[in-house]
Amino acid sequence: MARRLPTRAGSPRGAAPVTRPALPLFELAPRELAARDPSPTLALDFGMSLETYNKLVTRRELETEDTVAGDDALAGTLAAAPTTLRASASDAPLARGEVIGRYVVLDLVGAGGMGVVYAGYDPELDRKVALKLLRAPPPSAAASPSASGSRRRLVREAQALAKLAHPNVVAIHDVGEHDGSVWLAMEFVAGVTLAAWLRARPRSWPEVLEVLIPAGRGLAAAHEAQLLHRDFKPENIMVGDDGRVRVMDLGLARVTGDEPRAPPPAQDVALDGVAEALLPTLLTHGGALIGTPAYMAPEQLQGREVDVRADVFAFCVTLWEALHGVRPFAGETLAALTARVLAGEVSPPPSGRAAPAWLRRVCLRGLALEPGRRWSSMAAALAALDRGRRRARATRWIASIAALALAGAGLALHERAQAQAL
C-alpha cells in the first residue's frame, strides 16, 4: 500500500556526515533512484532533514530490518516512523529484441521513479518509439483488487492522453499491459530536459520565455482536454534537438471531472521519486498526493482537490527557477518547505539574475497562496507573458530607434559644425 509522509514532532537529528556525494532532495537523478536495491523498505519521517533523506536514497545497499548499520540517529528515525515505502520488485531490464505489444525493445534509455524507458521499434509504421514500462505494485499486492483497479485506471488515463495531439506535448501512440505492468508507446524525442538545458549555460529571460511559453501551451492543451498534469517541473519538459519544446510524463495526470475523493490528512506529503515508484497504487487512493513537493501548490500539499490552477502554480515555480536559478520556496526539510509554501513566503531572487519587474509580477500572481488569486488558467498566464514580452520588444525597438535618431542628429550637427568652420 502506498504511504505518505506524516508530520511527526521530535524527529531524531544529528545524522553522521554523508560519506559520499548526496544529491539534493528535489534534484534526485532518476538513474540514482533506479540504482537502489529493487525492493528496499524505507520508513520515512516528514521532519527528516534533507541530508538524512539523501543518505537514505543514495545508498545502494538497503536492508529491510537494519536499513543503515552504524548510524543510530538514522536507524532511530526509521524505527520510529509508522509508515514505509517499498519500491517495485519488477525492475529487471528487458532484453533487446523482446516484444511488448507490437513493439520491439531496442535499448534502455533511462529509469526513474515512475518506471523504465526503452527505445523501441514499431515494425508496422517503421518508426522509432519510446516505450515506458510503468512500475508495478509489489508482488504481494499485485493480485489485489486495488492493484488491478489501478492498472485499469492507468490504461484509461493513458487512452485519454493518447487523444491529446499538440506539438508541445509528447505524443502517446499506444497503451497496454505487460506482465502486470502498464506500458506506453510514445513519441521518441531526441533532446534534453529543461533542467539540463538550464545547466548548460546561463540563460537570459527572453531565452527562458522562448522555452517556457511553448511548454505552457502544451500544458494549456492538456487542460483543454480535461487533463491535469500534477507534476509539471523542469525534468518533465523536453527541449528537442529539432527546437521544439514538449511536455512529457503526463502519466501523473488525472482526468478532470473524476469521481470525488476524500482527501488524506492535511499534513501528508509524498516524496519526489520514491512516491512516484508507487504510482499504480497511489492512483487508486482518493486524493493521494502525487507529484514533486517543491513544485506542488498549497492545496495539493494539503491533499485538497486541485484544478488547473495547481498546474499554473507549478508552471510559475518552474518559470521562477528558470529565471533566477533558485526555486521560490526554500526549506532544509520537507516540513520547512511545506511551511514556506503554505505561508506564501517567496524567497527574494539572488542578485545577478535580473528579470523585468513585469515578469516577476506574473510569476508572483501564479504563486499566490489562494487559487482564486492566481491566474485562472494557463491561457490567462500565457496571455500575460505574451503581452509583457511584446511590450518589452516594443520598448527595445523604440529605444533603438531613439538611439539611432540621436546618433543621426549628432552626426548632422557635427557635419554642420565642420561646414561652418570651412
Domain CATH number, residue 288: 1.10.510.10
Residues 80 and 107 in one domain: no
Residues 140 and 274 in one domain: no
Residue 165, CA distances (Å) to 99, 173, 239, 394 in order: 26, 10, 18, 33
Cα–Cα distance measured from residue 357 to residue 351, given in angstroms and rounded to the nearest whole number: 14
Cα–Cα distance measured from residue 310 to residue 129, given in angstroms and rounded to the nearest whole number: 31
Report pLDDT digits (tens) over 362-413.
999 999 999 999 999 999 999 999 999 998 776 666 656 666 666 666 666 6
Cα–Cα distance measured from residue 119 to residue 93, given in angstroms and rounded to the nearest whole number: 12
Cα–Cα distance measured from residue 288 to residue 356, given in angstroms and rounded to the nearest whole number: 37
Whether this model's pTM surpasses 0.95: no
> Would 320 be classed as within a structural domain?
yes
Residues 141 and 210 in one domain: no
Residues 276 and 372 in one domain: yes
Residues 331 and 268 in one domain: yes
Q: How many domains does the chain have?
A: 3
Q: Which domain holds residue 103?
A: 99-187
Report pLDDT digits (tens) over 181-234.
889 999 999 999 999 999 999 999 999 999 999 999 999 999 999 899 999 999
Backbone angles phi, psi at 326, to 5 degrees: -140, 160
Catalytic residues: 231
Residues 209 and 305 in one domain: yes
**Residue 177 region, left (φ>0) first, then alpha (ψ -120 to 50), else beta?**
beta
Q: Give the residue from 250, 244, 175 showing the smallest Cα distance to 213.
A: 244
pLDDT beyond 70 at 357: yes
191-193 sheet: strands from edge to edge: 191-193, 237-240, 245-247
pLDDT band with cut points at 50, 70 and 90 for residue 109: confident
| DSSP β-ladder status, 99-100 and 85-86 | unpaired
Cell of 271: 516524496
In three-state form (DSSP H/G/I as H, E/B as E, the rest C), the secondary structure along 114-157 is CEEEEEEEECCCCEEEEEEEECCCCHHHHCCHHHHHHHHHHHHH
Residues 180 and 219 in one domain: no
